[in-house]
Amino acid sequence: MAVVTPFPVQRAGTPQVGFDRTELSRILDLYGRMVAAGHWRDYAIDLGRDAAVFSAFRRAAERPEFRIEKRPALRQRQGMWALVGEAGVTLRRGHELGPVLAPVERKLMRLVDPD
């Protein structure tokens, strides 16, 4: 009556790339602030063999406004972190997550009236 389909088994030589707790916490903190500001409404996480991708959407039916990619194979080259825009253009790449997220965090800054 019930058919149980097992999950695909990972092969020994192909581990899955993922975000660790501190990385995901930093990304979700930014996501929460962007939701509170009214910029983003949805997100998706894709974990694969080559990369882990966090996509942030303005609306669920669109392409993602930003993608935050972690590609460990590029660690020794230009850096494993990348911020990719809606058109697929790489906006920032680096070895650390903080500077890569800086252009998105700048969108949250507002001028404060001193009075």
Domain range spanning residue 51? 21-106
User: Residue 103 in contact with residue 66, Cβ under 8 Å?
Assistant: no
As for how many domains the chain has, the answer is 1
The pLDDT of residue 87 = 86
Residue 47: inside a domain: yes
pTM of the model: 0.79
Q: How many residues does the chain have?
A: 115
Are the C-beta atoms of residues 40 and 57 closer than 8 Å to each other?
A: yes
Q: Can you give the pLDDT at residue 74?
A: 84
Whether residue 49 is contained in a domain is answered as yes
Instruction: Give, for all 115 residues of the chain, the pLDDT tens digit.
Output: 678 877 666 566 667 888 889 999 999 999 998 888 888 889 999 998 889 999 999 877 778 889 999 998 888 888 889 999 888 889 999 999 989 999 888 887 764 455 5
**Burial per residue of 101-110, b for 16 or more beta-carbon CB atoms within 10 angstroms, e otherwise:** beebeeeeee
The structure tokens listed for 65 are 């406004």
